[in-house]
Amino acid sequence: MLSKRIIPCLDIKDGRTVKGINFVNLRDAGDPVELGQRYSEAGADELVFLDITATHENRKTLAALARKVAKNLSIPFTIGGGISSVADAGVLLEAGADKISVNSAAVRRPELLEDLVKAFGSQFVVLAIDARQVGNDWVVHLNGGRIATEYLLFDWAKESEARGVGEILFTSMNHDGAKTGFACKALAQLADSVSIPIIASGGAGTMGHFLEVFTEGKADAGLAASIFHFGEIGIGELKHYLHQHGVVVRV
């Protein structure tokens, strides 16, 4: 059985790590390279760096950040934000990123996913999906949650798998920053609808929430931000807790 992964997420704005609630009210959480190094030493399995305003402000993810991270970390990391072409992704790969995350650009031009997979391989491509529950539907949103689309979560996930992506990072906008638990029902349905790994994001507030997301939510990885950034939960203690409750983790 593959180990479940614990992944700190660092949302980047103007070169700093920030965190908000429901995608707004951002506050500073520190230097991304320093935080990443701290998490690597604490036992994180991977890291995700997302430039959360790159698409909205028509900027590209800074390759300089990827180079700094690669020099200071020994664990895999994904970087995303504003990637809209194979060339964009190639710059980040050359700078040291292990994977790239695409979101808005893939919805606007789904063929981008196939282009990226053909150029770099499925294992390099993560599709990030930001979705908000509206009634009984989970509606996919773009540009950091600013724009609703006609895409629905499960349909888009199945299409992206068919186009070759290696992993899906699903963020529940309803749960983001609320610390009330992950969207486990939607995650379980998502896991049942595709065969590629699912990274769960949005809602982590307690160690119990991670236990729930790995059991009830059927997620392959649990991603969180503020609880790690502000020292509410330590990665080592979280992994010990999960191990004690029968979850296979790397310790």
What is the tally of helices (H) and strands (E) in the chain?
10, 12
**Residue tagged 């529940």 (tokens):** 172
What are the catalytic residues? 11, 130
Q: How far apart are the C-alpha atoms of 67 and 1, rounded to whole Å?
A: 33
Answer for the pair 170, 139: CB distance below 8 angstroms, yes or no: no
Q: Locate all alpha helices (DSSP H) within the chain, ordered by sequence.
A: 32-42, 63-72, 86-95, 104-108, 111-120, 153-162, 184-193, 207-215, 226-229, 235-244
Residuewise pLDDT in 10s, the chain (251 residues): 689 999 998 888 777 776 555 445 565 667 888 888 989 999 999 999 988 766 544 445 568 888 888 998 889 999 998 899 999 999 999 999 999 999 999 999 999 999 999 999 999 999 999 999 999 999 999 876 789 999 999 999 999 999 999 999 999 999 887 799 999 999 999 999 999 999 999 999 999 999 999 999 999 999 998 899 888 999 999 999 999 999 999 98
Q: How far apart are the C-alpha atoms of 142 and 76, rounded to whole Å?
A: 26
Q: How far apart are the C-alpha atoms of 247 and 163, rounded to whole Å?
A: 31
Answer for the pair 101, 78: CB distance below 8 angstroms, yes or no: yes
**Residue tagged 């009634």 (tokens):** 135
pLDDT at 59: 47
Q: What is the number of alpha carbons within 13 Å of residue 227 lying toward its C-beta?
A: 27
The domain ranges of the chain are: 5-243
Exposure of 188 by Cβ count < 10 A (0-12 exposed, 13-18 middle, 19+ buried)? middle
Give me the phi and psi of 123, to 5 degrees please. -65, -15
Distances (CA, A) of 48 to 32, 45, 83, 185: 10, 10, 15, 24
pLDDT at 64: 83
CATH architecture of 5-243: Alpha-Beta Barrel (3.20)
pLDDT at 35: 85
